[in-house]
Structure 1
Amino acid sequence: MRKIVAQAEHLPSHDVPLTEIAEIDEDWWFAEGGVPSPRALTDHMAMVQQVDRAYPIILDAEGRLMDGMHRVVQALLAGDTMIKAIRLPRTPEPDFVGVAPEDLPYD
């Protein structure tokens, strides 16, 4: 994500209708095998409460969400219809393909 944020930080943000963010109706947090248990949902809701929507979400060139789901959920809970977003002009290639999340080299 650091590379994507670096690419986005000097681009202008604009308002995007929340209805245009397809990922709000997809299995975003648990698609990789996680279980949507009450504890897991509580952990995500704690993060939703802590986000700072001063930072725009990041969309790829096709308008798909790359970063910011907790900010999107906070906006939905607040009853907002729009959110600040930065749309990358070109979708970057992934650094890793076919690697399980737990095997990624995060420091």
Structure 2
Amino acid sequence: MRPQYHFRDGPDGLMAWDMRKIAATTEHLTPQSVPLENIAELDENWWFAHGTTPTPRAIAGHMKLIQSADRTYPIILDSEGRLMDGMHRVVQALLAGDTTINAIRLPRTPAPDYIGRDPSDLPYNP
């Protein structure tokens, strides 16, 4: 998995979770089918909410990631059912006309790895 983070606004600033760590904790969990209509993030500003601009080049980059997404890997939801990882797979499923996707729901949402850091300041080296 490439280094990537899940971001959410928090009371003390932007919260970031290292998705490599989260994914490692899900290996023993059983995926379940989740209706795409339950993925609220499909109707939110997901990729461009934290300082990036939706330029045509940036959108094309996400289109490539959507095309190459591997849906044999389940998406990851937090303990409340919010998406933490897998938006490219979710969009791929939506474009394919699917109504469900396999997901792993965390029994407990872990504390963020970083709080108050700009996304560009996080380590992105493998």
| TM-score of the pair, normalised by structure 2 | 0.83
- Higher share in helix: 1
- Structure 1 runs not aligned, ≥5 long: none
| Match in the other structure for 1:11 | 29
Q: How many residues align?
A: 107
| Match in the other structure for 1:62 | 80
Question: Once the two structures are aligned, what percentage of the paired residues are identical?
Answer: 68
| Match in the other structure for 1:53 | 71
- Structure 2 runs not aligned, ≥5 long: 1-18
Matched, 1:90 2:108: yes
Please give the per-residue CA displacement for 1:11-65, whole angstroms capped at 9, x wherever unaligned.
0000000000110000000001111111111110000000110000000000000
> After TM superposition, where is structure 1 displaced by more than 3 Å over at least 4 residues in a row?
none
- Higher share in strand: 2
| TM-score of the pair, normalised by structure 1 | 0.97
Where 2:114 maps in the other structure, the secondary structure is: coil
CA RMSD of aligned residues (A): 0.7
Where 1:83 maps in the other structure, the secondary structure is: strand
